[in-house]
A and B are shown apart, each in its own frame.
Chain A
Amino acid sequence: MKVLVAVKRVVDYNVKVRVKADNSGVDLANVKMSMNPFCEIGVEEAIRLKEKGIATEVVVVSIGPNAAQEQLRTALALGADRAILVECNDELRSLTVAKLLKAVVDQEQPQLIMLGKQAIDSDNNQTGQMLGALTGYAQGTFASKVEVAGDKVNVTREIDGGLQTVALNLPAIVTTDLRLNEPRYASLPNIMKAKKKPLEIITPDSLGVSTASTVTTLKVEAPATRSAGIKVKSVAELVEKLKNEAKVI
């Protein structure tokens, strides 16, 4: 079974982003970039499926700037077999990304497609579901457990009230949630080996997908800040303040 994992290059999750003074976006100059944490969980899950003998090949794909090769090399060092970069410098919306991935799916014909449930920059949580509509495949979003059984995959999903399990016909799409697994670190020998693994670079044009979008970002602002209040000395003082000052209890 071939597994395709989509990964996105995003600002590292430890970076505190700052909004640009002209409100055109956030300042990403000289900021550390990494693989989106949810995508990393997707790569880890695919590699575990390969280690269990269920997956035969793990292909990673990224859609983004030339520098996204760095994240693809990381995925190769973690154990993916080969990588595809759809090189594009524009900021793409989820629907366009889903259309590009659909074109890659048509070429690669994977049985399982793993994506992160959302990217920590745009926070859209859309691409996997959109790819589901475009391919006509079933989707298991926000997965905390993935079990391939014959021609089906059982996906346990984190939902508002608890957990839900669905059985999906393969090929299927899975989007990862935080508790699916804990990604490993790449070892130095594997990082060296990854440099020799195949990485193909293609363009949106070659896939026949237009990158136009109907959504425009007008401005980006810093959120309203909350200022620190007061420190109380005791539980009694706290209860008194909540009752008489804040009037919330």
Chain B
Amino acid sequence: MAILVIAEHTNVALGAATLNTVSAAKAIGGEIHVLVAGAGSAAVAEAAAKIDGVSKVLSADNAAFAHQLPENVAPLIAEVGKGYSHILASATTNGKNIMPRVAALLDVDQISEIIAVESADTFKRPIYAGNAIATVQSSAAIKVITVRGTGFDAAAAEGGSATVEAVAAGSDAGISAFVGEELAKSDRPELTAAKVVVSGGRGMQNGENFAMLNRVADKLGAAVGASRAAVDAGFVPNDMQVGQTGKIVAPDLYIAVGISGAIQHLAGMKDSKVIVAINKDEDAPIFQVADYGLVADLFDAIPELEAAL
């Protein structure tokens, strides 16, 4: 039994989420291979070869894979994946985009966003926005799975010495094209990989006030997130959203500022080790999950916090 892990990457760097997915593969048990489908992505293949526990890296380097268009990448994964018992990808927007297409090409069901491995065919996954946890068993010949990173510790990025093999497959399906992207540029850590996350909600009142959170975040080496309410109100862009339909985070410390704590937000952060809530409404539901709650006006508390750090 061998497991194929699909690498998450930017063509130049390996995505941290891949390390959590490799850990999920280890929990299933078996030889672990990593597929890097990209364009000019040799450095990613080299990085993948160093992940602890990986025995082989398959590198499919083709211009058609440059932007991870599912119409081009899914047929490759389905073709390469035929010889494996499991195909795993991170439940990033990229993994979520491509993997169901792979599953349907292989004519198998997919199991989405697993948070635990019970056995090689049985997994736990959240349903109803995390209000229930289902244990599901699959009898499919090839198990196509996406992995929620917060459910698994990252595998060591160094220590492995896998062989890298080129895969000469792939073509442009010719039905889709990349037009452009607007990526948020930030010197701060990535939300899903940060040890500390500071998030703002509707209580921030506007986008300019997020500068206050940025200053606190810089002192803590933290990433800055937001609730859906703050994103929908146009304070900050969508890629900052933490919640069921945004990013799922589980840092060591999560500081929720001016966030009431709607169920869908809690679904995105309740696995954090320590949760701090700062809100002037003492009845806000966020306090029911917070380890430390401070009932205060955030416009007083945040500058004070910045000064105290």
Binding site for B on A (CB under 8 A): 11, 16-17, 19, 26, 93-95, 98, 118, 120-134, 136-139, 141-142, 144, 154, 157-169, 177-179, 213-223, 226, 228-236, 238-239, 241-242, 246, 248-249
Contact = CB atoms under 8 A, between A and B. Distances in A.
Contacts of A121: 127-128
B276 to A, nearest CB: 7
B181 A164 contact: yes
Contacts of B290: 228-229
B138 A228 contact: no
Contacts of B177: 166-167
Contacts of A139: 70-71, 97, 101, 176
A121 to B, nearest CB: 6
B181 A221 contact: no
B110 to A, nearest CB: 5
Top 8 closest pairs, chain A to chain B, by CB: A133-B104, A129-B100, A229-B291, A130-B104, A126-B100, A138-B176, A214-B140, A165-B179
A125 B92 CA distance: 12
29 contacts: A17-B131, A26-B127, A121-B128, A125-B112, A132-B104, A139-B70, A141-B70, A158-B238, A158-B239, A167-B179, A178-B228, A178-B245, A215-B109, A215-B136, A215-B139, A218-B135, A219-B134, A219-B135, A220-B127, A221-B135, A226-B288, A231-B287, A231-B293, A235-B305, A238-B292, A238-B305, A246-B291, A248-B252, A249-B196
A124 B99 CA distance: 11
A169 B176 CA distance: 6
Contacts of B97: 129, 139, 141-142
A154 B135 contact: no
Contacts of B67: 164, 166
- The residue in B129, B177, B273 that gathers the most chain A C-beta atoms within 10 A of its C-beta is B177
Contact of A160 (B70, B93, B133, B294): B93
A230 B277 CA distance: 11
Q: Chain B: interface residue count, which band?
A: 35 or more
Contact of B71 (A93, A94, A132, A214): A132
Interface string B166-202: 0000000111111111111000000010001000000
A215 B111 contact: yes
Contacts of B273: 248
Contact of B140 (A136, A164, A215, A235): A215
A163 B273 CA distance: 30
B178 A230 contact: no
Contacts of B179: 154, 165-167
Nearest to A131: B104
Given A26-B128, A121-B127, A221-B132, A159 B295 contact: no
Contacts of A16: 131, 263
Given A163-B238, A223-B133, A11 B105 contact: no
Interface centre among A19, A125, A163 (most CB of B within 10 A): A125
| Secondary structure call for the A interface | mixed
Contacts of A95: 103-104, 107-110
A14 to B, nearest CB: 10
A123 B238 contact: no
Contacts of A163: 181-182, 237-239
Given A94-B109, A231-B294, A241-B292, A137 B301 contact: no
B113 interface: yes
A167 B179 CA distance: 6
Given A158-B93, A162-B183, A218 B122 contact: yes
B70 A129 contact: yes
A215 B138 contact: yes
Given A26-B127, A168-B176, 16 more contacts: A95-B109, A126-B100, A132-B101, A132-B104, A141-B97, A158-B238, A164-B181, A169-B175, A179-B232, A214-B138, A215-B109, A215-B138, A223-B130, A231-B292, A235-B304, A235-B305
Contact of B112 (A123, A157, A226, A233): A123
